[in-house]
Structure 1
Amino acid sequence: MRRLIALLTLLIAACALHAQAQDPALLKQVLDQLASHPQVRANFQQTRENPALAAPQVSQGKLLFVIGHGMLWQTTAPYQDTLALTGSRTARVDDKGQLQTVRNGDRGVAQVSQMLQGMLAGKPDEALRQFNVDAQGTSTQWTLRFTPKQARMARVLTAITLNGGQFLEGIDIALHSGEQTHIRFSDTRKAGALSALEQHALGNP
C-alpha cells in the first residue's frame, strides 16, 4: 500500500491550471457514471514491475468505497493490513476495529485519499489540476489517460491511465524509470450493508 500511495501522490500536487480533456463530453459522462454508485465493494490485484526486480511484486485485497466518507483498503496477501482513508485522516485498523493514526506521510496519504474519493464521486478537480486528459471510448468502455503538464513532474511520471465501464476497472501508472504499477479491480458491486467495524472506521456512514 505504501508503494501505491507513493506513486499516486504524484497525481495531486497543487497547480492553478485545470486540465483540458480532448473529449470533455465523454469525461463528464464517465464521471457522472462513477458518481452514480455511492457505495461499492471490489477485489483488487496490484502488480508492481521494476527493472531492478527479478520478478513482479503482487498483492491482493479488498476495497470498500463510500462517497463522502472515504475508503477501506484491505490487503489480504502476501500480508494482511487494513487502512481507513477518510481524506483528512489515514488510520490502520486492527482486527478489533481499533484505529491507529498513520503519522508518517500523512499529507501524501490524505491527498491520495481525496483524489480517489473525488474521482469516484465524479468530482475530479484535485486530480485534474496539472494534467492533460485524453478521454477515449464510450460510456460503456472508456479510457482516461493523464499526462503531466509540468516539466518537473514529467521527468518522473510518464502517464496514469484509468479504464472501465460501469465501474472503474483498472489503474496503470508508468514512470520514466521503467517502473510500472497495475491495479485491477474485479467483482465490483454495490456495497450493501456495512459491518459495525466498517461503519466505525469510516465515521458511521
Structure 2
Amino acid sequence: MLIQFEKSVKVWMLCAFGAMALFSPVIYAQNTELKQVFAQLGSTPVVRANFEQQKKLASLNKTYVSKGEVLFSKNQGVLWKIQSPVQADLVVTARKLVQKTQRTSSQIEVDKTPYGSVATMFLQLMSGNEAALAKNFNVISVNYTPAQWSVSLVPKSSLFKKLFVRVDAQGQQYVDRIVIQEQANNRTTIRFSQHSTQPQILTAAENALFQLAK
C-alpha cells in the first residue's frame, strides 16, 4: 500500500544561495523580487480554482490528462478534488499526504517519502513559505511585477535531482501554471483557472478531509 501510494503521489504531483552570493546586486534583486512574489501569494487565506494536469511520458509518447478543483487554505493545506479520469481527493498538509476514494484511503507522513516535498511545493508557494521551499530548492530566476510574476526552481539534493530537473511557476495574483521538468524528458504541466477567494469558510466535508491529514 505504501509503495502504491508513493507511486500515485509521484505520478500526480511529480531557495537558497551561498553567503558569498548575498553580496551580488543581481542576487539581491532576485531575493527582493522573490519576497514580493511570496508576499503577494501569501496575502490570501483561501483560494479556490479549477485545474487541468497534463502528464507527458516521453518513452510512451503519450499524455495523461486529469481535471478537477483545488482548494488552498493557508491554515489547513491543499485539497485536490480530482474529477477525471477518476474521482479521488488528495489532501496535502505540511505533515501528511492523504489520498481518498469512495472505497479506499491511504496516508503517509511527508518526511517519510521522497515525493513529500514535491507534493507540498504548491502549498509552500501559495502560503508564501519561502523558508520551507528553500530547504529543497534553489531559485535560478525570478521576475516580479504586480501584474505578472515567474519563478524557476531546481532541486538541491541528489535524490531530488534523480526525480526531476526543474520547476517553473507563473502567475498573476495567484499561481496560474506550474511546469515540472522530470528526468527522461517527462513533463508535468498544471494549469489553474477561475480563481476565487469565496467562499472563505470551508464546508464540513472539506474540513473532514483536512482532519484526515492532521
Report the equivalent of 2:203. 195
Mark the runs of 5 or more structure 2 residues left unpaired by the alignment.
19-26
SS at match of 1:32: helix
Query: Which stretch of structure 1 is more off in the superposition, 61-70 or 192-201?
Result: 192-201
SS in 2 for 1:56: strand
| CA shift in 2, pair 1:151/1:2, >3 Å | closer
> SS of 1:171's equivalent?
strand
In the other structure, the counterpart of 1:128 is 134
Separation in 1, partners of 2:129, 2:47: 17
Q: Using the TM superposition, give the Cα deviation of residue 76 of structure 1 relative to its aligned residue in structure 2, in angstroms.
A: 0.3
What are the residue-to-residue correspondences of 1:1-205 with 2, within 5 Å? Answer: 5-6=9-10, 18-19=16-17, 23-93=30-100, 100-103=105-108, 107-108=112-113, 110-112=116-118, 114-129=120-135, 130-149=137-156, 153-154=160-161, 156-192=163-199, 193-203=201-211
TM-score by length of 1: 0.79
Q: Aligned-pair RMSD on alpha carbons?
A: 3.2
**Deviation of the 1:74 alpha carbon:** 0.9
Alpha carbons 2:37, 2:144 under 8 Å: kept? no
> Residue 84 and residue 149 in structure 1: after superposition, are their counterparts in 2 closer, same or farther (change >3 A)?
closer
Which one is further off, 1-10 or 56-65? Answer: 1-10
The CA deviation at 1:3 is 6.4
Identity, % of aligned pairs?
Answer: 25
* Cα distance change on mapping 1:84 and 1:175 into 2, 3 Å: closer
2:110/2:117 contact within 8 Å kept: no
Could you tell me which amino acid in structure 1 is paired with residue 207 of structure 2?
A: Q
Q: Which amino acid aligns with 1:161?
A: D
Deviates more, 1:99-108 or 1:178-187: 99-108
More helix by share: 2
Deviation for aligned residue 1:58? 0.6
Equivalent residue letter for 2:127 = A
More moved, 134-143 vs 84-93: 84-93
Q: Deviations over 1:80-110 (max 9, x none)?
A: 1012222223333456xx9944249873365
TM-score by structure 2 length? Answer: 0.76
Q: Is contact 1:172-1:182 (8 Å) kept? A: yes
Counterpart residue number, 1:14: none
Q: Structure 1's 87 and 150: CA in aligned 2 closer, same or farther, altered over 3 A?
A: closer
> What amino acid sits opposite 1:68 in the alignment?
N
Alignment check: 8 A CA contact 1:47 1:181 kept: yes
**Secondary structure, aligned partner of 1:23:** helix
CA drift of 1:52 comes to 1.5
Specify the code of the residue in structure 2 equivalent to 1:53: L
Matched-pair contact (CA < 8 Å) for 1:19–1:133 = no
